[in-house]
Amino acid sequence: MAHRYQVRTGDMLAEIARDSYGTAPLTRKLADYNGITNPNLLRVGEYLELPARLVLAPPAAVPAASGALQPPHSLEGIIATFGDIRRHIRDDGHLNPAWETGHLATAPIPFAIPLSWDRTRRVQGIYCHKLLAPLVSDLFRAIQQEGLQEQITTFGGCFNCRPKRQSNKLSTHSWGIAIDLNPETNRQGSPGDMSGELVALFKRYGFAWGGTWSGRNKDPMHFQFCTGY
């Protein structure tokens, strides 16, 4: 069960990792999970997410169902697979457009989905990381073939360079590797009503589901192509 820890004066991340997991070597993974670039610099008063040990150190990666692309684990794995977007965020907080041009593409999907913020508009392509685009197209074809199309009522977005809600670390949406569906009835912190069949299909394609997270982090609208972050 994940929980939150508020940093106090004198705290060291290695000590927090040892107290929480019984071993200091998970310090780097805990730093990555929280988007901390320097484990030796903690801000007093900030909150750290302390996930279950298996989240930081899983026994094996989850295989993707389509193609050779595998879901990366931890911030280090995301950067190795999809690039270090942090280097392209300007001092004003905006992303250099060159990164978007070089790393993103539109994955065509076989049916149109209304936008959650404007149901008069529909999308028939998902703007995501170019490495993920073929898998996303395959996934949505499988959704249609398995008769799950009607389980998707609205599209809440994919690429969006921003911090994670209730956190200072970058959201996986920043890399274009997360998809939000049916946000109206699957708000963060709620149990939601996401279709179990739809969740199972996303997992077959290597996506982790935010509905398994706990407390305020629970996010049943959210699917991300990575673990440990």
Is residue 120 situated within a structural domain? yes
User: How would residue 51 be classed by pLDDT, with cut points 50, 70 and 90?
Assistant: confident
Residue 53, judged by CB atoms within 10 A of its CB (0-12, 13-18, 19+), counts as middle
pLDDT at 184 over 50: yes
Cα separation values, 222 from 15, 121, 162, 178, 189, Å: 32, 21, 15, 7, 12
Domain count, the chain: 2
Sign (positive or negative) of CA dihedral 128, 134, 136, 140 = positive
In this structure, the answer to whether residues 83 and 31 fall within a common structural domain is no
In this structure, the answer to whether residues 36 and 135 fall within a common structural domain is no
In this structure, the answer to whether residues 139 and 204 fall within a common structural domain is yes
Percent of the chain with pLDDT over 70: 93
Is residue 131 situated within a structural domain? yes
Enclosing domain of residue 1: 1-57
Mean pLDDT of 95-117: 95
In this structure, the answer to whether residues 115 and 192 fall within a common structural domain is yes
Is residue 25 situated within a structural domain? yes
At 182, which CATH number? 3.30.1380
pTM of the predicted structure, to 2 decimals? 0.76
